[in-house]
Structure 1
Amino acid sequence: MTQPPRLAVVVKGWPRLSETFIAQELVALEAAGHTFDIWSLRHPTDTKRHPLHDRLWARVRYLPEYLHDDPGRVDAARAVARTLPGYAQARAIWRADLARDRSRNRIRRFGQACVMAAELPAGTRGLYAHFLHTPASVARYAALMRGLPWGFSAHAKDIWTSPDWDIAEKLETGPGGAGFGATCTAYGATRLRDLAADPGRIDLIYHGLDLSRFPPPPRRALRHPGDPLRLLSVGRLVEKKGFDRLIGALAGLPEGLDWRWIHIGGGALGQELANRAEAAGIAARIDWRGACDQPEVIAAMRAADLFVLPSRIAADGDRDGLPNVLMEAASQRLPIVATPTAAIPEFIETGIHGLLVDPAPVPLAQAIATLAADPARAAAMADAALERLRTRFRMDPGIARLSERLTALCSPVAA
């Protein structure tokens, strides 16, 4: 039996705790018979790994994160890349991109693409990038040099902070355009289809959740209104996650409500948010746990009473897609308070599967207090979210569609 076409999968960094959805997808694609190498633009910065990362057989290849880090490798790759049939076209497209984006990052992308194009193993049939900005640019230039097709999965920041011209040209039907694009929300798919020369090449493929990786939800006893309320949030400490607003909400909870908040995740705003909590007089009630692996996250979800994710749109336009942590919380029958930002309403209909409120302190505080006072209603919504997850947001249908797309991309006709 012949092996499926060999892919080169391009990612920003590997492994990354905050991108469990990529690891879940790649494990499932291997199980579906796909073989690939992972090409990472950056070395890992997380000190922990998810168990999922250890299930992959794929070889991980690290490109020079900065070109000056390995000048010998870069120079040798450029010499090889210049001999490739598509180098001149790739360079022309890159120079046009550079004229509109005169950044070191844009120069680095082309250098990394030269290394990738020069070092791709024999038998590689196509390239597949996770994220439409930097990884897709590297994949696009390298694919042009080697005369190979490429595709991508787009998620959140890459859709909403990339310039229209950059996205539109990657979605062209001519040379350099992606053979297909997948995105994980209807919200993001609408934007990409509006910019695509052929909207039919954009697929809505929800990440979904592989429920076999999660324990059955705990049998939760109804919390008595007088018991301490155990709140949990999981997400990076960055602007779009809205944790500054949540700290304001926690400071505004009713005086008679006894609560504790656990936060899981790293991020650049950690000290600033800790200072806010100290100034608000609530620091003693907060447990900043930092980055955790998935078993630790699930254990925290099973012990919590309420999951809170106050996502909002950042000043630069960055925003969430459909955060997988919401589905993970639902898998453990954990009631949810979130916001109607981006694609979150695609999974949670407010009042049925959880409460969605404006990402501001007062409505967040009101929603938390409402469910704290009515644990039966919170439990009913958690049951409904779990049922929605099981019936509408399982991983399998999306993996089947993505597998079809990747097989077609790497077929001899496409190549």
Structure 2
Amino acid sequence: MFSPLQLAVAILRLKPDLIHLNTSMDPKAFWRDAVYLLIAKILRRKVIFQVHGGKLPQEFGKANILFQIFLKWILDLPKAVVVLSDREYQSYRNLLLHQRIELIPNAIDLAPYSTAVEKNFNSQELKLVYLGALTESKGILETIEALASLKAAGKLAHLKYVIAGSGKIENQLKQQAAQLGLQGLVEFTGPIFEQDKIKFWLSAHLFIFPSYDEGLPYTLLESIASGTPVIATPVGGIPDVIRDGVHGILVKPRDSAEIASAISRLIQQPDLLKKMSLKCIERARESYEIERMAGQFEAVYETILG
């Protein structure tokens, strides 16, 4: 991470023709990257400003009229603003009438998942999973509540919930699982990487991702690339990837009852899950290969650099 001074020194030393800044519409990231953008423009560099989620710009600036004016001014400075989802594209297009807005969804290297095939959901134990930061906004607390309600209804036989990652609510999640009597059903692996992560996805049966707010998360793309259907929320770029009833089920944020209902519905329909698994693989290979994203950025770079 550069300090503003380090960035200025690097620009003066390296003399890049183009600077690609990654930001998100949350206060800490925005103010840091707004300073970087101003430094780059003062030093007469061309800039691409890529927004990775957070609030939509109209929501981000709605509390203060002066900040709305500043936000629009800042976002008009780069040569292009790059966004991840259709919803973001429409929002930025409506705000920045004369700015170049590019829609370039995230992508991943699909090579590790090249052998993925539709999964078998008739196994002795179905593995529900979560992978990512353990923060409140990811909806993990609601997932554990949903599992507790399924247990009370006698619908938790042959299920396991595996949580991979670390974060500030890890202890809270462990306490919640223990208080709800789910110790044997909920497993915490800690962070996983590389081959362990690939094995994790290939052995998973259902990704539970009821996040409150997202851009276009890489974990979602890894899930579908591995053939793992998804229970998620229709926020950020998720609806661009997941078609309700085809690649999984979309539920309302902060609603443990809807999560429980979706889990209950899917685990009772292994044939539907198998169809969803195949559709997930097809979706990843059609639209989220990293070569597609690289080609889109290359085209943008070429037109900006002339």
Q: TM-score, normalised by structure 1?
A: 0.65
Any conservation in 2 of the 1:151–1:409 contact (CA below 8 Å)? Answer: no
Deviation at 1:166, TM superposition (A): 4.6
**1:327-338 to 2 correspondences below 5 Å:** 327-338=221-232
8 Å contact from structure 2 (residues 104, 296) kept in 1:
yes
1:206 aligns with 2:98: no
- Aligned to 2:115, what secondary structure does the other structure show? coil
Give yes or no for contact 2:135–2:169 (8 Å, CA) kept in 1. yes
State the distance in 2 between where 1:287 and 1:222 align.
Answer: 20
- The DSSP-based 3-state class of the residue aligned with 1:404 is helix
Q: 8 Å contact 2:112–2:198 — kept in the other structure?
A: no
1:131 maps to 2:23: yes
**After superposition, what is the alpha-carbon deviation per residue over 1:128-152, rounded to whole angstroms, capped at 9, x for unaligned?**
1011514531321221331212111
Instruction: Write out per-residue CA displacement over residues 299-357 of structure 1, whole angstroms, 9 at most, x where no aligned residue.
Output: 11111221111112xxxxxx102222122111111122222223211111111121112
Q: Deviations over 1:73-121 (max 9, x none)?
A: xxxxxxxxxxxxxxxxxxxxxxxxxxxxxxxxxxxxxxx3233213322
Higher Rg of the two aligned structures = 1
Task: Report the Cα distance in structure 2 between the residues aligned to 1:122 and 1:362, rounded to whole angstroms.
Answer: 55
- Look up the match of 2:65: none
The alignment partner of 1:266 has SS state of coil
| Structure 1 residue 396 displacement after superposition | 2.5
Q: In 2 relative to 1, CA 126–292 (structure 1 residues): closer, same or farther, beyond 3 Å?
A: same
Q: 1:260 to 1:215 in 2, by over 3 A?
A: same
Matched, 1:346 2:222: no
Q: Counterparts of 1:299 and 1:240 in 2: how far apart (Å)?
A: 26
Seen in structure 2, the aligned counterparts of structure 1 residues 214 and 119 have a Cα distance that, compared at 3 Å, is same
Which residue of the other structure, out of 170, 188, 192, is the alignment partner of 1:270?
Answer: 170
Verify the 8 A CA contact 1:371 1:378 in the aligned structure 2.
yes
Aligned 8 A contact 1:150 1:409 in 2: no
Other-structure match for 1:287:
187
Residue 123 to residue 336, structure 1, CA distance change in 2 (3 Å): same
SS in 1 for 2:184: helix
Instruction: Give the 3 Å change call, closer, same or farther, for CA 222–250 of structure 1 in structure 2.
Output: closer
1:389 aligns with 2:293: no
- The alignment partner of 1:268 has SS state of coil
**Pairing 1:306–2:206 present:** yes
More off after superposition, 392-401 vs 233-242: 392-401
State the identity %. Answer: 23
**1:215–1:394 Cα change, 3 Å:** closer
Counterparts in 2 of 1:170 and 1:203: CA distance versus 1, 3 Å? same
How far did 1:251 drift?
0.6
1:168 and 2:96 matched: no
Structure 2 CA distance, aligned partners of 1:153 and 1:219? 34
Instruction: Figure out how many residues of one structure are paired with residues of the other and give that number.
Output: 289
Amino acid at match of 2:274: A
TM-align CA RMSD = 2.1
The one-letter code matched in structure 2 to 1:326 is L
3-state DSSP class of the match of 2:17? strand
Does the aligned pair in 2 maintain the 1:246–1:364 contact within 8 Å? yes
Q: Would you say 1:255 and 2:149 are equivalent positions?
A: no
* Maintained 8 Å contact 1:208/1:393: yes
Q: Distance in 2 between matches of 1:243 and 1:222?
A: 23
What is the aligned partner in structure 2 of residue 119 from structure 1? 10
The offset of 1:256, in angstroms, is 4.2
Q: Normalising to structure 2: TM-score of the pair?
A: 0.86
Question: Does the 8 A contact of 1:171 with 1:195 survive in 2?
Answer: no
Alignment partner of 1:378 is 2:273: yes
- Report Cα offsets for 1:18-58 as digits up to 9, x if no partner: xxxxxxxxxxxxxxxxxxxxxx2xxxxxxxxxxxxxxxxxx
Q: Return the match for 2:122 from 223, 229, 233.
A: 223
The residue type equivalent to 2:9 in the other structure is A
Alpha-carbon distance change, 142 to 376 in structure 1, aligned in 2, over 3 angstroms: same
Question: Does the aligned pair in 2 maintain the 1:126–1:143 contact within 8 Å?
Answer: no
Label 1:342 to 1:116 Cα distance change in 2 as closer, same or farther (>3 A): closer
Q: Which protein has greater RCO, CA pairs closer than 8 Å, 6+ apart?
A: 2
Offset of residue 219 of structure 1: 5.8
1:335/1:115 Cα in 2 relative to 1: closer, same or farther (>3 Å)?
closer
Find the counterpart in structure 2 of residue 242 from structure 1: 139
Is 2:96 the counterpart of 1:193? Answer: no
Paired residues of 1:168 and 1:197 also in contact (CA < 8 A): no
> Which amino acid counterpart does residue 6 of structure 2 have in structure 1?
V
